[in-house]
Amino acid sequence: QAGNVDETTVDMLTIIFVGNSQTRIMGRRMVTPRGYLERYGDGK
């Protein structure tokens, strides 16, 4: 969580990735579903 970051270790070269409660790590990727299935179904 961003609130737990030690501010003394963050500089201009730091990258912070932000997701949400649906974000998952899949292999080496960070994936956040867009929610289209919940909203529109699978189209079948």
Give residue 39's pLDDT.
75
Q: What total of structural domains would you count in the chain?
A: 1
Give 1's contacts (C-beta < 8 A, 6+ positions apart).
Answer: none
pLDDT tens over the chain, length 44 residues = 778 888 898 899 999 888 999 999 999 999 998 877 777 877 66
Q: Are 17 and 30 in contact (CB under 8 A)?
A: yes
Domain with 25, as residue range(s), is 2-40
pTM higher than the cut 0.75: no
Give 13's contacts (C-beta < 8 A, 6+ positions apart).
Answer: none
Please work out, in degrees rounded to the nearest 5, the angle formed at the alpha carbon of residue 39 by the alpha carbons of 34 and 43.
Answer: 95
